[in-house]
Amino acid sequence: MRRALPLALLLAAACGNAAVAGPQRPPLLAGTIAGIPFTPADATGFLVEPVACGPLGPGLHAIVWVQLSSASGACALAIDHATCAQRPDAVTAWVALARSNAFGGAVAPIGPGTYDPATSGMADPNGAVSFFWAGAERTGSSCAPLSVPKEWTVDRLVLDEVGPARLRGSASAHATDGSTLAGSFDVPVCAAPDAAFCGSLKGGCASTACVP
């Protein structure tokens, strides 16, 4: 699956006996990817109202997706994946929730709440079913893919704010090789058309463009 956030930073300055705190950037998930510490430089979120999204299968899907990147421009980078473009020497990670209806019925938008990953793929009596994802990608100097764990489990997902401008909450996930993602997130929503986002989920590119 192809996929695409700000570093937590506290600036302090001393003046006489007084300390003045500068602006603090919103927090981000961090951890290790394939044994390498991962602290993202940029982040973005996607909020997709119930729409058809081919890579996720038939029917309508509501999606909340938080994407972290070691490179700047996380929103543009995520959409570049739709055209099989990559950044060199980059690490991308994500945590996501999608909701659909197993019976082809109506799908409610995703709102704030505590979501239980243990229910992933389990439909309720009305057919409502949620799916949880986490994952990562790494590229080398020529944008060739590097080894990353393929099997991830989302352990926890809390959405405190779900709006057209920001996604805020916390999450944790782990992979079979010991890779981890954990912490809080407060990220701007990428103003990308739903079709562009769904296109970024596709895989199997025959070739990729390496974008500096």
Least confident of 6-15, 153-162, 173-182, 198-207: 6-15
What whole-number distance in Å separates Cα of residue 30 and Cα of residue 163?
23
Alpha carbon distance 119, 137 (integer Å): 26
pLDDT band per the 50, 70, 90 thresholds, residue 106: confident
Q: What one-character-per-residue DSSP string does 106-166 give?
A: --PPP-SEEE-GGGTT---TT-EEEEEEEEEEEB-TTS-B------EEEEEEEEEEE-SSE
pTM score: 0.81
pLDDT at residue 5 tops 50: no
Residue-level pLDDT at 203 = 62
pLDDT score for 80: 76
User: Positive or negative, the Cα torsion across 62, 68, 73, 78?
Assistant: negative
pLDDT of residue 206: 63
Look at residue 53 in the predicted model and tell me its pLDDT: 83
| Cα 163 versus chain centre, distance | 16
Pick the closest to residue 194 from 1, 42, 55 (CA basis). 55
Once rounded to an integer, what is the mean pLDDT over residues 26-31? 81
User: In angstroms, rounded to a whole number, what is the distance separating the alpha carbons of residues 180 and 78?
Assistant: 21
Which secondary structure element, helix H or strand E, spans residue 194, and what is its range? helix 194-200
pLDDT digits (tens, 9 = 90+) for 118-174: 999 999 898 999 999 999 999 999 988 899 999 999 999 999 999 999 999 999 999
Give the pLDDT of residue 57.
80
pLDDT at 26 over 90: no
Q: How does pLDDT run across 16-25, given as a tens digit for each residue?
A: 333 344 444 5
Domain limits of the chain? 26-202
Residue linked to tokens 């704030």 = 112
Q: Could you read off the pLDDT of 47-98 as tens digits, one per residue?
A: 988 888 877 888 888 999 999 999 888 888 877 776 778 889 999 999 999 9
